[in-house]
Every structure is written in structure tokens, then in C-alpha cells.
Amino acid sequence: MQEKDGKKPQYKGVLLKVMTRSTDGKWRTIAHTWNAEENK
């Protein structure tokens, strides 16, 4: 991540972790992210 004036840019958004069970009984984890924007 590039620094501006000695500070790292910060981003905000939503992270959602979804766990589902497949037909063979194993758990799967999927991460969904959206609305990420630079926080100035």
C-alpha cells in the first residue's frame, strides 16, 4: 500500500463471512466485500 505524506491510506467497507454446508457435510467459508472506498 502506498503512503501519502507518511500515512497509509485507510479504506472502509463491509466484510461479510458466510458459512455454508455442502451435500457431503463439509463447511465452506465465503467472504463478501462491498462499498470499499478510500477514507480521506
pLDDT tens, 4-20? 677 777 777 888 999 99
Task: Pick the closest to residue 35 from 16, 19, 18, 17 (CA basis).
Answer: 16
Q: Is a pLDDT exceeding 70 seen at residue 37?
A: no
Contact 18, 32 (CB under 8 A): yes
The stretch 31-37 carries a mean pLDDT of: 79
Quote the pLDDT of residue 15: 87
pLDDT confidence tier of residue 36, bands split at 50, 70 and 90: low
pLDDT confidence tier of residue 21, bands split at 50, 70 and 90: very high
Q: Which three cell numbers stand for residue 13?
A: 467497507
Question: Positive or negative, the Cα torsion across 7, 2, 30, 28?
Answer: negative
